Structure 1
Amino acid sequence: MAEHPDSVVVRRGYEAFSQGDMETLRSLMTSDCTHHSPGSSQMSGHFKDADNVLAHFGKLMELTGGTFRVEVDGIYPDGRGHVMSTHKWYGDRGDRGIEMRGGLFFTIVGGKVTDVDECVEDIDESDAFWGQAD
């Protein structure tokens, strides 16, 4: 059974992210794509347009000294332009590390990601890990 085209987009995105391939990531998003990150840390908020979304991803790497990584658990399309993914993410920051389950809810139009809503297992722990802006 072939993988749904929307699932292919999301899987390619995870692979590109894991390889640091920002060019491929950009090609999978609309120019006005928005990423919504939960909580109240410096990594929380609404990141509008592909440049800001990619800068947000870059900051994940910057704050963790390049240790941030994601392992996909599952990718689930609804066949109507939405895909839910589940994963576990890891990172080290200063003297603390984190390992947390989470998920992303993608909206896909015309084979490109237009919107991403992020959910995490423990918002308070995520906020504590990322901290506030310096």
Structure 2
Amino acid sequence: MTEHTPVAVATTYFEALGRGDVPAAMALLADDVVWHQPGANRFSGDHTGVAGVGALLGGMMEASEGSFGLAVTGPAMSNGEFVALPVRFTGQRSDAAMDMAGIDLLTVRDGKIAEVHLFSEDGPAEDIFWGRA
């Protein structure tokens, strides 16, 4: 990637996730990234650092029996270092399924994703899918 604008970084991040290239996506996170996971479920709260975010995403893949997916559904919207993207996220396991819209808000500084805020269209349904610890 030669362009480091916030939109270019966000686009490259989601393209990497879309093709299953988790290492390339994780390489775009700042070492001290802060990921704000919404809701009242076992994954909710702040996750710090690349290792913390990796553990979060790995836990979500495990809880969804490997089915957790995320797709960008519209254009990136930017305001300085902030980039908001409409997304659709899905997951399925033997006893439950989830399919809903959301917004991912990334803060991009110095060519890296420094902070992530997530918004779900149906927080209570997402909490039910992920369950409590």
In the superposition, the TM-score normalised over structure 1's length comes to 0.90
How far off is 1:15 after superposition? 2.1
Which residue does the alignment assign to 1:45? 45
In the superposition, the TM-score normalised over structure 2's length comes to 0.90
Provide the C-alpha distance between the structure 1 equivalents of 2:61 and 2:16, rounded to a whole number of angstroms: 14
Alpha carbons of structure 1 residues 130 and 54: separation in structure 2 relative to 1, 3 Å = same
Provide the C-alpha distance between the structure 2 equivalents of 1:103 and 1:58, rounded to a whole number of angstroms: 21
Which residue does the alignment assign to 2:58? 58
- Indicate conservation of the 8 Å contact 1:93/1:129, yes or no: no
Provide the C-alpha distance between the structure 1 equivalents of 2:31 and 2:22, rounded to a whole number of angstroms: 13
Structural RMSD (CA): 1.6
Alpha carbons of structure 1 residues 4 and 24: separation in structure 2 relative to 1, 3 Å = closer
Deviations 1:57-88 (A, max 9, x none): 1111111111111121121111x111001111
Provide the C-alpha distance between the structure 2 equivalents of 1:108 and 1:64, rounded to a whole number of angstroms: 28
Percent identical among aligned pairs is 31
Query: What amino acid maps onto 2:118 in structure 1?
Result: E
The answer for unaligned runs of 5 or more in structure 1 is none
Which residue does the alignment assign to 1:77? 78
Equivalenced residue count is 130
Deviations 1:97-120 (A, max 9, x none): 111101111111111100000110
